[in-house]
């Protein structure tokens, strides 16, 4: 029976120890919640006094999605994620074998049409005019011979009274008419040769040449578009396709991050809106370099109020109206990254503004 009495006596002591541990755990949890709430309030609210205004925001940059303007297989991809590229640098190329053959065909058409137009513009050659004159002379001789033959038949019939068949006379007359017609035809041909090509024919040939040249220019432009070039100095953020993929205007090949300009997007309340203006100097600090500030200036102040964005404010302040501002920075060492949290300090006194603000 003595062991049973001993257990009953130890039970109050055990209960008291458990209660003390629970109290200590509760106190620790309460202190942790208070600390978390304090830190959350500090990083989600702006601080201001009579001399400085402190805002919290995120780094923002412009981005570009690059796609080919044509539809074909990708032959080359020349850069990777993280590479720095310059404006005009070739980033990727399409397969251009078919396009090259089409250009050669178009060039041949242009060359042929140029020669045709040149022939019309130069007019009739002297040799062609001489040939036309010779044909007129030959036709004149045939006409003279046919006239003489008909004349002899008519003289025989009238002078000697010899019988000349009517068929012979008809044949002679027909031959003379044919010879005269051929002579007239040769004379007209000579006249056309002396005048040269019609202006309308030259204009038509010139218009056709312009059509061929336009088709050639279009093909060459398509050949230029087969090279995907960077429109600006930037950093490759994403490589979205690979060699062998089918490119199209709807499928981006690269996503570029434009490193200049960079800015910090922050929000100010209506109370502090009247205390800032465009061009005011600011200092930007990040958690990765808390001791090294980056110089900047206010380059944009929104003209319309908006509800506080949820990612930057607490639950109870989401319905507050704020104004977006952008602080453009001079990040020569490229320390800021897209989306990076940043703290903006704005001196409210003796802060000159400048009209030279980057946008």
> How many folded domains does the chain comprise?
3
Give yes or no: residues 72 and 88 share one domain. Answer: yes
- Residue 357 is assigned to a structural domain of this protein: no
Q: What whole-number percentage of the chain has pLDDT above 90?
A: 41
Whether the pLDDT of residue 23 is over 90: the answer is: no
- Residue 26 is assigned to a structural domain of this protein: no
Average pLDDT for the chain: 80
Q: Single out the residue of 180, 112, 97 nearest to residue 140, CA to CA.
A: 180
C-alpha torsion 29→31→35→38, nearest 10: 110
Give yes or no: residues 141 and 190 share one domain. Answer: yes
The average pLDDT across 63-80 equals: 93
Give yes or no: residues 239 and 331 share one domain. Answer: no
The CATH number assigned to the domain holding 83 equals 2.40.50.100
Give yes or no: residues 213 and 285 share one domain. Answer: no
Q: How far is CA 226 from the centre of its chain?
A: 12
The average pLDDT across 134-150 equals: 82
Give yes or no: residues 143 and 181 share one domain. Answer: yes
* Res. 135 pLDDT band, cuts 50 70 90: confident
- Residue 121 is assigned to a structural domain of this protein: yes
Whether the pLDDT of residue 106 is over 80: the answer is: yes
Per-residue pLDDT of 34-45, as tens digits, reads: 443 433 333 334
Contact 268, 325 (CB under 8 A): yes
Give yes or no: residues 273 and 315 share one domain. Answer: yes
Q: Tell me, letter by letter, the H, E, C secondary structure of the chain.
A: CHHHHHHHHHHHHHHHHHHHHHHHHHHHHHHHHHHHHHHHHHHHCCEECCCEEEEEEEEEEEEEEECCCCCEEEEEECCCCCCEECCCCEEEEECCHHHHHHHHHHHHHHHHHHHHHHHHHHCCCHHHHHHHHHHHHHHHHHHHHHHHHHHHHHHHHHHCCCCCCHHHHHHHHHHHHHHHHHHHHHHHHHHHHHHCCCHHHHHHHHHHHHHHHHHHHHHHHHHHHCEEECCCCEEEEEECCCCCCEECCCCCCEEEEEEEEEEEEEEEEHHHHCCCCCCCEEEEECCCCCCCCEEEEEEEECCCCEECCHHHCCHHHCCCEEEEEEEEECCCCCCCCCCCEEEEEEECCCCCCCCCCCC
More confident residue, 215 or 25: 215
- Residue 42 is assigned to a structural domain of this protein: no
The pLDDT score that the predictor gives to residue 165 is 74
- Residue 32 is assigned to a structural domain of this protein: no
| Residue 240 belongs to domain spanning | 63-95+225-257
| Highest mean pLDDT of the ranges 133-137, 187-191, 233-237 | 233-237
The pLDDT score that the predictor gives to residue 17 is 55
The average pLDDT across 222-234 equals: 93
Whether the pLDDT of residue 89 is over 90: the answer is: yes
| Highest mean pLDDT of the ranges 158-167, 235-244, 316-325 | 235-244
* Res. 292 pLDDT band, cuts 50 70 90: confident
Contact 267, 324 (CB under 8 A): yes
- Residue 17 is assigned to a structural domain of this protein: no
Give yes or no: residues 146 and 175 share one domain. Answer: yes
Which tokens go with 120? Answer: 């019309």
Whether the pLDDT of residue 8 is over 90: the answer is: no
Q: What whole-number percentage of the chain has pLDDT above 70?
A: 77
Give yes or no: residues 155 and 301 share one domain. Answer: no
- Residue 119 is assigned to a structural domain of this protein: yes
Per-residue pLDDT of 337-349, as tens digits, reads: 888 999 999 988 7
Give yes or no: residues 194 and 335 share one domain. Answer: no
Give yes or no: residues 117 and 192 share one domain. Answer: yes
Give yes or no: residues 244 and 209 share one domain. Answer: no
Give yes or no: residues 264 and 324 share one domain. Answer: yes
Whether the pLDDT of residue 91 is over 70: the answer is: yes
- Residue 243 is assigned to a structural domain of this protein: yes
The pLDDT score that the predictor gives to residue 207 is 94
The CATH number assigned to the domain holding 264 equals 2.40.30.170
Which tokens go with 276? Answer: 């800032």
Other C-beta atoms lying within 10 Å of the C-beta of residue 336: 23
């Amino acid at each position: 029976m003595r062991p049973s009495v001993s257990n009953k006596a130890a039970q109050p002591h055990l209960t008291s120890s458990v209660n003390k541990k629970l109290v200590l755990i509760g106190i620790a949890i309460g202190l942790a919640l208070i600390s978390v709430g304090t830190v959350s309030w500090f990083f989600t609210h702006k601080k201001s006094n009579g001399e400085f205004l402190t805002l919290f925001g995120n780094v923002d940059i412009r981005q570009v999605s690059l796609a080919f303007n044509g539809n074909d297989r990708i032959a080359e991809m020349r850069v990777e994620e993280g590479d720095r590229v310059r404006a005009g640098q070739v980033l990727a190329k399409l397969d251009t074998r078919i396009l090259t053959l089409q250009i050669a065909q178009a060039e041949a058409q242009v060359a042929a049409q140029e020669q045709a137009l040149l022939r019309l513009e130069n007019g009739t050659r002297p040799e062609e005019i001489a040939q036309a004159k010779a044909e007129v002379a030959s036709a004149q001789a045939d006409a003279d011979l046919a006239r003489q033959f008909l004349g002899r038949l008519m003289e025989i019939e009238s002078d000697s009274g010899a019988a000349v068949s009517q068929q012979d006379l008809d044949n002679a007359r027909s031959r003379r008419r044919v010879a005269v017609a051929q002579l007239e035809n040769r004379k007209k041909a000579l006249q056309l040769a002396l005048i040269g090509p019609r202006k309308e024919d030259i204009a038509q040939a010139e218009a056709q040449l312009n059509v061929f040249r336009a088709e050639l220019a279009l093909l060459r432009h398509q050949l230029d578009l087969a090279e995907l070039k960077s429109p600006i100095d930037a950093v490759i953020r994403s490589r979205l396709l690979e060699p062998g993929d089918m490119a199209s205007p709807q499928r981006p090949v690269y996503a570029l991050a434009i490193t200049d300009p960079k800015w910090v997007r922050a929000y100010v309340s209506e109370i502090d809106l009247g205390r800032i203006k465009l061009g005011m100097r600011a200092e930007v600090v990040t958690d990765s370099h808390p001791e090294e500030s980056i110089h900047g200036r206010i380059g944009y102040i929104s003209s319309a109020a908006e509800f506080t964005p949820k990612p930057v404010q607490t639950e109870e302040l989401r319905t507050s109206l704020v104004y977006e501002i952008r602080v453009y920075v001079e990040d020569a060492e490229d320390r800021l990254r897209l989306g990076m949290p940043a703290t903006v300090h704005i001196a409210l006194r003796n802060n000159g503004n400048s009209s030279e603000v980057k946008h």
